[in-house]
Amino acid sequence: MNTIFAAMTRQELIHQIHNKRSFLCVGLDPELSKIPTHLHSAPDPVLEFCKSIIDATRDLCVAYKPNTAFFEQFGSAGWSTLEQVIDHIGSDHFIIADAKRGDIGNTSTMYAKAFFESLKADAVTVAPYMGKDSVDPFLQFDGKWAVVLALTSNSGSNDFQRKHLSGSNQELFENVLKTVSAWGTIDNTMYVVGATHPELFKRVRAIVPDHFLLVPGVGAQGGSLSAVAVSGMNADVGLLVNSSRQILYASSGLDFMEKAHKEAEKLRDEMAVLIENIR
Amino acid sequence: MNTIFAAMTRQELIHQIHNKRSFLCVGLDPELSKIPTHLHSAPDPVLEFCKSIIDATRDLCVAYKPNTAFFEQFGSAGWSTLEQVIDHIGSDHFIIADAKRGDIGNTSTMYAKAFFESLKADAVTVAPYMGKDSVDPFLQFDGKWAVVLALTSNSGSNDFQRKHLSGSNQELFENVLKTVSAWGTIDNTMYVVGATHPELFKRVRAIVPDHFLLVPGVGAQGGSLSAVAVSGMNADVGLLVNSSRQILYASSGLDFMEKAHKEAEKLRDEMAVLIENIR
């Protein structure tokens, strides 16, 4: 085990969730064309925008999920912006680098170093296609997390993830859940399950009752928070529900921080009731 | 279609292969701990090392495959190194950003911009787990390529890629080949097939007879060039065989460029005979 940086444990995350009455994760997918025009004159508009969104939502969410693609499009300058965004978040929130990485062992180790040591994220999203030796390296960092893709929120999730496997009653995503849960623990592994498949959360929970699930797809992609909560929550809440565009682009005017706060608050208020109900 | 930068077409790649009598791809996976010690005093040892390896092998290979993880581990500084490495390669070689990306549509578009526009690579490796809308954006850039993971070289390839699918005689990797080949063409799509599975190349070629295959796993991982060639080559050669560690770390002394050249030359000489045989 590599113990290098402080990271957020499962217990601390659960504590934060109850404390803030929120399991909201704010996705940071900054698109230059959608950023309020008055920020375009800043030296780094993307950084300015992300910092403002963070400041506007800090008290309402427990996690941030910067999407690496939106920074990488700007090359090394974008990667530098990403570093500053993560610095700005600080250590009170669970930070998920949404990077969808995964490669042979020695390469996954390098990716783990990139996100856990260099970038100081708590977690990174991992694509499971390459199997055990591509996921394992992300589990070797004490207090850090792999968030493994199981059933994603997009239409393409039907292409491979929902294929039935011979000699079992499982679809591929179920086999991924079952197989990967033998590699990691509930303290270092979460799964991505899209809100666009509310009818499948029962099958997910039958395999991984205790794991945290990272749930994208609420809002712009059409998923419903309450539908997810009904069959996705467990006694520890067990969900981080992500919202990106609905919050980031609530307004493109001078009031974008206020509107972002309001959208996050709406979600937090819904979540507070849902959390109250499981107590 | 976004037409922005010159890129290497299939015809040009085939021309280069015949011209150099080589289908060698040199993988750039620079590990600081393995780089010759006399380079450690350079301002950027990784850059110096990569430039030296490129200069030592330029005449013997048709492609370079920088592995993004080995640069990302150094954060924005590493990404800047990667940009300079790609600049140093220039436009006479096919450049594959080995990044294993793939995400929902708008995010994959950002990754495509990162690698095709910002980084100016010809190709990027793509993980297929998230399906059509995660692969499609990489196919929208004129003259650029998606190199999709089908059957990887690592032991973890058995975990999911080799699962049998119900109601078909296909394993998952075969279904990926068949499905993805309906999305792309032989002019914008290649597949990763590991040299560690020589017995499966016939099944791969039954599904994608005409596509180029990117073949890792020769050398350190135990795959054999001749075994791959027997059932993997087609009339256009159709293979890019990658070698990384065998060339990069042939020597850790002052003679590392000479030794890297020699290792690449050995592979080129084998390849020249194999190419001659299909004429």
Q: B72 touching A, CB under 8 A?
A: yes
pLDDT value of position B221: 81
pLDDT value of position A1: 46
Span B42-60, mean pLDDT? Answer: 98
Contact list, B249 vs chain A (CB under 8 Å)? none
Contact B220, B188 (CB under 8 A): no
Rg (CA), chain B: 18
> Token digits for A270?
């819904």
| pLDDT tens figures, B191-218 | 999 999 999 999 999 999 999 999 999 9
> Token digits for A159?
């292409």
pLDDT value of position B279: 67
Neighbours of A90 (CB within 10 A): 11
Domain A10-278 classified CATH 3.20.20.110? no
pLDDT value of position A5: 54
pLDDT value of position B1: 46
Task: Indicate if the pLDDT at residue B3 is higher than 60.
Answer: no
| pLDDT tens figures, B166-182 | 999 999 999 999 999 99
Query: Is B166 in contact with A164 (Cβ distance < 8 A)?
Result: yes
Neighbours of A87 (CB within 10 A): 11
Neighbours of B277 (CB within 10 A): 9
Query: Is A72 in contact with B153 (Cβ distance < 8 A)?
Result: no
Q: For all residues of chain B together, what is the average pLDDT?
A: 96
Closest chain A CA to residue B193: A130
Regions in chain A scoring below 50 on pLDDT: 1-3
Residue type present at position A214 = L
| pLDDT tens figures, B118-164 | 999 999 999 999 999 999 999 999 999 999 999 999 999 999 999 99
Between residues A31 and B221, the one the model is more confident about: A31
Task: Indicate if the pLDDT at residue B58 is higher than 70.
Answer: yes
Task: Indicate if the pLDDT at residue B220 is higher than 80.
Answer: no
φ and ψ at B174, to 5 degrees?
-70, -40
CA distances, B212 to each of B7, B193, B219 (Å): 16, 10, 20
- For chain A positions 174-213, those within 8 Å of chain B (CB to CB) are 175-176, 179
pLDDT value of position A3: 47
| pLDDT tens figures, A239-265 | 999 999 999 999 999 999 999 999 999
Q: State yes or no: is B51 an active-site residue.
A: no
Task: Indicate if the pLDDT at residue B185 is higher than 80.
Answer: yes
Q: For all residues of chain A together, what is the average pLDDT?
A: 96
